[in-house]
Amino acid sequence: MRTGEYRVTQIITNVICGLFALLALLPFILLIVASFTDNDWASVNGFTFFPKEWSISAYQYIAAKWGMIGRAYLMTILVTLVGTLLCLVISLLFAYGISKQHIPGMRAISFLLIFTMLFNGGLVSTYYCYTQIFHIKDTFWALILPNMMMNAFNVILIRNYYINSIPASLEEAARIDGAKEFRILFSIVIPLSKPILATVGLMTALGYWNDWMNGLYYLTARGGAKYYTIQIILNNITENIQSLAAAATRSSGMATMVPFPSTTIRLAIAVIGILPILIIYPCFQRYFVKGITLGGVKE
C-alpha cells in the first residue's frame, strides 16, 4: 500500500517538475507574446508578458514578404529532411559495421571514428576542402555536408544500441536460415532500432533546422541567396536590420502598406521557425528518452 510519506514525496516531486516545466515554457510564451507587441511600445518599454499595446504588424510584414521568407522556410524543411535522411543512412550503416568487432579492421576504424571527436583539421583546412576540392560553395549541398551529415557521437550511440539491445542470437538464427548481412540489417536490426534511430533523427533534425553557420561560411549573397534558410534570414536580420528596412522601402508600395517592425519582426520569424519543432517533438519524446537511455549504455 502507498504510505502517506510516498504520497507526500510524489506531490513534492510533481510540484518541482511542474515548476521546471513552467520555467522552460516561459521563454516561449514571452517570445510569442512579444511578437504580437506593438513595435514602438516594445522599443520604449521592452518586452513583457502583459504589454499595453498589441500589434500584428510583424506578421503582416511576413505575409507581405512571404516570397522571401516562405522560400527560406521551404528550404529549411528540405534541408532538414534530406540532411536527416542521409545522416541516418550513413550512421546506421557505419554503426552496424563497427559493431562487428570480430571482423578484421573494425577496431582500427572505431579508433579513427573516436579520434575525430578529439581532433579535427581546423576551420581553414575544412573550408578549403569543401570549397576548392568538393566545390559546394553557393550550392544546396553547402547546407548538408559540412560538419553535420555524420556525427561520431551519433554513430557510437547507434553502435552501443546494436551491441546491448539486439541479441546476437537473432542474427545467428537468421544466418542459419540463410539470411545475408543486408537481409539481417533491414529485416531484423533496423526494425528493432526504432528508438535509437528516432533519437538520432530528432537530434540531427534539430541541428539542421537551427543551423546558420554553414550558410554564413559557404553561401554568398550574390550566388547563394536562393538557398537561404529561415535561420540564415533571421541571422541576417539580427546582424543588419537596416539593410532589410531599406529593401522593404524599395519594394513597390511596401513602405506605405506595412510599417517595418524592426524589433518584433525577428521574434515573429523565430516563432514561425520553432513551430514545427514544438509540434513534432512530443511525438518523438518517448523514443528520444528510450533511445538515449539504451544507446548510451557502455559495454
Confidence (pLDDT) at 297: 44
Q: Are 229 and 79 in contact (CB under 8 A)?
A: yes
Confidence (pLDDT) at 290: 57
Summarize pLDDT for 238-290 with one digit per residue, the tens: 666 655 555 555 554 444 444 455 678 878 888 888 887 777 777 766 666 55
pTM: 0.76
Say which DSSP state 187 is in.
I
* Ranges in the chain, pLDDT < 50: 1, 252-259, 295-299
Query: By three-state DSSP, how is residue 54 classified?
Result: strand
Confidence (pLDDT) at 118: 82
Q: Are 245 and 39 in contact (CB under 8 A)?
A: no
Q: Are 268 and 62 in contact (CB under 8 A)?
A: yes
To the nearest 10 degrees (0 to 180), the angle between helices 264-295 and 194-210 is 160
Confidence (pLDDT) at 282: 73
Summarize pLDDT for 206-250 with one digit per residue, the tens: 889 988 888 888 988 888 888 998 888 877 776 666 555 555 555
Confidence (pLDDT) at 61: 79
Confidence (pLDDT) at 75: 92
CA of residue 61 relative to chain centroid, distance:
26
Cα–Cα distance, 157 to 294 (Å, whole number): 8
For the segment(s) 66-295, the CATH number from 2.130.10.10, 1.10.3720.10, 1.10.220.10, 2.40.50.140 is 1.10.3720.10
Provide CB contacts within 8 A for 19, sequence distance 6+.
none
* Helices within the chain (DSSP H only): 4-35, 39-45, 57-64, 66-98, 106-118, 123-128, 152-165, 168-176, 181-184, 190-192, 194-210, 213-218, 230-239, 241-250, 254-257, 264-295
Closest CA to 233 of 247, 250, 252, 251: 247
Cβ-in-10-Å burial (0-12, 13-18, 19+) of 276 comes to middle
- Quick one: cell of 46? 521592452
